[in-house]
Amino acid sequence: MIEPIKFDIVADIYDYYVQADFDLEFFLNEANKTNGKVLELTSGTGRVSVPLLKAGIDLTCVDYSEQMLAVLEKKVRENGLVCAIHKMDIAELSLRRKYDLFLIPFNSLSEITDREKHRQTLTGVAEHLTDTGVFICTMHNPGKRLKTVDRLVRQMGDYRIEGEGRLIIQYVFNYDQDSQIVSGNQFYEIYDQHHKLIEKRILDVNFYLFHKAEFETLIKQCGFAVIDLYGDYHYSPFEEANSPYLIWKLKKKS
């Protein structure tokens, strides 16, 4: 069995290179549609969580990475916010209440590579979702994502870090068509203000690419019906040839 991505390795530098905000307006809009409780799965260091909390959303966060959650807890505390935070494998979701909105941002369901765990995760979401609740699950469009999965070393970016240092990240990925798993490594080089290399890290990365028809079958089996399927965070209809994402908006089957 493939182990989960060990985000603890990069938790202290994660926010330097993951600063995306292209989806925040979408999640804020969806969260503001509910007057109830929101559960964010795979919350990480709070890229989405903190803006939601600042907007007054009643949010609970779940992630399996202790160090990523430690960063989130620090942000919550420093901003004077209140949030229930749980360290938990989302495939083993076990909370004492139901929620009106579930979010899995940043294509994170794909970080589960075991097909049975996909089923367990979705079943757990259904069990914790209110009868009128909404579940938003985001994922890559395989046809688009695979264009940069070619066994070539590519640069993810060159980032400024604290103390005028730099963080350079490269990656190399391969795709196995039978398992539908992308696997590879991300390489981190940290330089000080004098351009001296002071640290290297390697993160093993594996993620699963869902095909549209496959996921449609799975969600029906797990008790969901489709409300909408968007191809981006501007609510555009999904187009298999052009859309970067599949953004599923689901409800429990009546």
Q: What structural domains does the chain harbor? A: 7-141+209-252 (3.40.50.150), 144-208 (2.20.25.110)
Average pLDDT of the chain is 97
For 20-31, what is each residue's pLDDT tens digit?
Answer: 999 999 999 999
For residue 25, give both structure tokens: 């307006």
Bridge pairing between strands 99-104 and 129-140: parallel
For 113-137, what is each residue's pLDDT tens digit?
Answer: 999 999 999 999 999 999 999 999 9
Tell me, yes or no, if the pTM score tops 0.95.
yes
